[in-house]
């Protein structure tokens, strides 16, 4: 089974109440990407994933969100990168309180 959500809050909500052992390898995989969309514009995305143990087996929990656009012209604006950083920090702090590791990348099966 695969579950997809589109906000950090929903990702965390799906994990709340699980013991760290309920998350395979006690690891949340996180990936931030920055894709060029024009000469001075970049789309910034944040994704996270983990495998969750449940009574009937396992499921893959995926999170992905468009965090906004970075502009690198005469007056650079990195709103997308800033937004992704805030969301990532929220997730990392939540993981730290639960003794979970955060590693770069995504998991899939």
Confirm if 60 and 107 have CB atoms less than 8 A apart.
yes
Please list the ranges in the chain whose pLDDT falls under 50.
none
State residue 18's pLDDT score: 81
State residue 109's pLDDT score: 74
Spell out a b/e string for 18-31, using b for 16 or more CB atoms within 10 Å of the CB, else e.
eeeeebeeebbbbe
State residue 68's pLDDT score: 97
State residue 10's pLDDT score: 96
State residue 55's pLDDT score: 86
Q: Report the alpha-carbon distance of residue 2 to residue 25 in Å, rounded.
A: 18
pLDDT digit string, tens, across residues 20-39: 789 999 999 999 999 999 99
State residue 75's pLDDT score: 87
């Amino acid at each position: 089974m695969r579950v997809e959500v589109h906000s950090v809050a929903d990702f965390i909500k799906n994990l709340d109440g699980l013991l760290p052992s309920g998350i395979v390898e006690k690891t949340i995989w996180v990936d931030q990407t920055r894709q060029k969309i024009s000469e001075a514009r970049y789309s910034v995305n944040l994704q996270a994933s983990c495998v969750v143990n449940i009574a009937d087996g396992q499921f893959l929990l995926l999170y992905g969100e468009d965090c906004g656009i970075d502009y690198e012209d005469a007056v650079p604006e990195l709103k997308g990168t800033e937004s992704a950083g805030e969301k990532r920090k929220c997730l990392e702090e939540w993981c730290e309180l639960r003794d979970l590791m955060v590693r770069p990348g995504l998991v899939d099966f």
